[in-house]
Structure 1
């Protein structure tokens, strides 16, 4: 109900003259004295309890009070406005207190609903976050394995109902399959070294002092004549597995397989002073492993296998060699050719030996503590104008201590 009181105590405006909120009816005509109007709320307005909690209203000059009638409770807001007549005007409104309670209950209910919705939203967000985080954690874990090139330990990522995560899982699984396929042709140890040393920069072609090792199976052509293609491939795979393990256990790099032979080198991409000793240890490890294989073959009634191994130390070009998208991390130069010639020379120097290891004087010079060496003499190798001093190493001699190695400067 809206009202205006002027001239001291005369009601000049009343919005509910037909029926008061309290139910009373009046036949009075405005203006009329407040006490004579018959509105019990206006009649008791000066006896109401002022509500001091409405500080903002009080600062604006609005008085808020609670007025009790015989049957109900009302809240009144009024403001005194001077200047329109000799006596100030009072403009105000009053309404049932129950409407306030109803609004408070409505707001309280809305607040409860809002808090409940907020809690549910937080729980859903946590659930969604964990659901999204799980595949991301799995991705991080599998990515660490990819980074360390432990491709055999990488587990495929499961598909996801979240489109973005599903796309990531599919792309990751395809990447791993591609890396596994590539790793079939690129030595894992070489790949790991290049990644650790900086990839492209480490693979740039350069000159370096290396020790090269070349192997070959004696009489494999005649042996393979009695094998099928499948048997030949299986035989070579088993043989190369022994060679690769021996090379990588000594930190070497397998360059390539040539027929039934293998080319490996030490000194790149990791620079090391003991590359000659590492190559010799590898040759003897190969000899020991071959001896075990031959003993097993002999027990099965098969022939023993013989090998020739050539080792040479010198300067060679190492790095990416090729064109366009056909690159190969390899070694080229006279040092490689000499190593191959030494391996071939084993036909003459080590004829009849199960394993013959021929090393150049350049390699032996870097092995001052080498006990199992015999000078084979000087030989003129095909393609060289000068002779080469060759040493024959005992394949089953104790491996020399790796610390007894001359640095390249001392060897010179």
Structure 2
């Protein structure tokens, strides 16, 4: 096949109607730039006529001073809100602990009757509570004893036995309430699992378990955000897993929404469990908005309170100041515009031409910007000439990319990706001949294919082979091999050409194992679809061969030829259905790679005088 001719790049100027042919050396021809006053100098002289620098400095100083003051006020406001949230959470959880302590007195105080009487007294105690609807009594071992609930409350869903981690936490709590994970109850509301140890003489006599309803706390957090920040969404509480514990939207808490991507958490350092006191203040982005926020931990529960606001809200008071400064800028700019009207006109016209040419370039129309720009002697003229040169280069490169894409798309239907890359990257190698390389050859043949073809319609046989070859190609290429050819019902694969790897022999054996494993899945599909199944006989051998193009100048094929191919084919012919046979040469290349190979004795290959040691890859 002849080498690709050097493409001739031709562009037409829309304004002049002339053709430009780049020189054969590939260098872009350039014209001598006319001399003139640089654009930078013109703009610099115009700027000196205006008194903008002092005004810019004054406005910047005023905005910066007020911005710092606002930031300090926002920090104080956020700390105040965090403190309110901490007090609200602490008060609610303290009430829960008081309720559970009162229930424990009813259950275990002397003189209140039998267990049934005590349980009957607990129900009315639960009715007025806004936080808990039921309690589950557990033995010290963690086994559930009974559950008492308020009237008109659905049956709760409590654990029949407490986990060892909870029991350990209760023993170490010194009689205090222990909180576990937030979850959704049977009504889909967010609740916090809580366990209270009933201690007598330093011994846990029993355990009360309940679910603290978080609805009121969520409303309180939302009210704080609405009152101080103008939005119920701007305050929330998260646990050490960065999942919502309290939020104005209780449904998001019940869903345990993950907040780990929140920009404020990236400012944390040190203990990430929130068990130590820490405070973080940072600017970040949230849903495309610039935000400012504060975070403070609640070490007792391992939670963190997050308060955030958009910059547009926090610094809204700066907008009026910016308007005043912009008005002063407008007056100063008016003077500059009047002085530089003629110069601005000379600048904007070529810029419009450049913008139009850029838009045309975005629409893949490669045209120049015209003489009105390229004949200028300033930076815009230099830019216009560079743009013309770029358009010429891009048009040539696009044609080259399209050609290569079409070639790759066509060749990939017939050749492996490595061979396609070899052909496209170096077309000069498309000539008859080859080079001597060490390769590993794999043959995989369908056992009893002739009998199968006699018993099945040809349409089924073709569909089965297409599916088999599709997955075989995927497996072999994933292991670094290439498909040399399909010979009827047989696959010939090669490792070591055109690209070689130190572990080509190991890759070939692993591909053979993958084929055998996948065949179990394929047979289940074919058995269910057509009532047939097949087996593969696989042979692998490593040795020298000539790899290259074989055929004629008009029709050639990239393949490997040599005695190594013949030995691999004969080893495959000795394999039983489902068996993988490997030559001694392949076993030596594999070495101690972890692949198990079982000696299968010495075999006399057809056409060879010396016996060949064969190894089998066991199932």
Q: TM-score range by the shorter chain?
A: 0.5 to 0.7
Q: Is the 8 A contact 2:436 2:544 kept in 1?
A: yes
Measure, in 1, the Cα distance between the counterparts of 2:411 and 2:430: 19
Partner of 1:389: 613
Q: TM-score by structure 2 length?
A: 0.37
Which of 343, 364, 368 does residue 587 from structure 2 map onto? 364
Pairwise CA RMSD? 3.5
Measure, in 1, the Cα distance between the counterparts of 2:514 and 2:468: 13
Q: Following superposition of structure 1 onto structure 2, how do residues 202-217 of structure 1 map, counting pairs within 5 Å?
A: 205-217=434-446
Shift of 1:309: 0.5
Q: Is the 8 A contact 1:202 1:269 kept in 2?
A: no
User: In the superposition, relative to structure 1, how do residues 175 and 335 fare at CA in structure 2: closer, same or farther (>3 Å)?
Assistant: closer
Q: Is the 8 A contact 2:438 2:544 kept in 1?
A: yes
Shift of 1:125: 3.3
Measure, in 2, the Cα distance between the counterparts of 1:229 and 1:124: 65
- The SS at the match of 1:311 is strand
Q: Is the 8 A contact 2:539 2:582 kept in 1?
A: yes
Which of 235, 242, 253 does residue 464 from structure 2 map onto? 235
- The SS at the match of 1:278 is helix
Partner of 1:269: 498
User: In the superposition, relative to structure 1, how do residues 189 and 382 fare at CA in structure 2: closer, same or farther (>3 Å)?
Assistant: same
Shift of 1:236: 1.4
Q: Is the 8 A contact 1:379 1:389 kept in 2?
A: yes
Which of 591, 595, 600 does residue 376 from structure 1 map onto? 600
Shift of 1:301: 6.4
Q: TM-score by structure 1 length?
A: 0.54
Shift of 1:293: 1.2
User: In the superposition, relative to structure 1, how do residues 235 and 170 fare at CA in structure 2: closer, same or farther (>3 Å)?
Assistant: farther
Unaligned segments of structure 1, at least 5 residues: 1-110, 138-161, 397-412
User: In the superposition, relative to structure 1, how do residues 367 and 179 fare at CA in structure 2: closer, same or farther (>3 Å)?
Assistant: closer
How many matched pairs? 254
- The SS at the match of 2:460 is helix
Q: Is the 8 A contact 1:311 1:359 kept in 2?
A: yes
- The SS at the match of 2:461 is helix
Q: Is the 8 A contact 2:541 2:567 kept in 1?
A: yes
Measure, in 2, the Cα distance between the counterparts of 1:209 and 1:194: 21
Shift of 1:183: 1.8
Measure, in 2, the Cα distance between the counterparts of 1:202 and 1:178: 14
Measure, in 2, the Cα distance between the counterparts of 1:334 and 1:176: 37
Say if 2:547 is the partner of 1:318. Answer: yes
- The SS at the match of 1:305 is coil
Say if 2:364 is the partner of 1:135. Answer: yes
Partner of 1:73: none
Shift of 1:314: 0.9
Cα distance per residue 1:170-211 (max 9 Å; x no partner): 996676445322221121233235667x56459861111111
Unaligned segments of structure 2, at least 5 residues: 1-339, 367-390
Q: Is the 8 A contact 1:320 1:330 kept in 2?
A: yes
Shift of 1:375: 2.0
Measure, in 2, the Cα distance between the counterparts of 1:273 and 1:375: 24
Q: Is the 8 A contact 1:194 1:269 kept in 2?
A: no
Q: Give the number of the structure whose alpha-carbon radius of gyration is greater.
A: 1
Q: Is the 8 A contact 2:540 2:583 kept in 1?
A: yes
User: In the superposition, relative to structure 1, how do residues 282 and 134 fare at CA in structure 2: closer, same or farther (>3 Å)?
Assistant: same
- The SS at the match of 1:316 is strand
- The SS at the match of 2:532 is coil
Partner of 1:253: 482
Partner of 2:264: none
Q: Is the 8 A contact 1:254 1:263 kept in 2?
A: yes
Measure, in 1, the Cα distance between the counterparts of 2:419 and 2:407: 17
Shift of 1:339: 0.6
Say if 2:563 is the partner of 1:334. Answer: yes
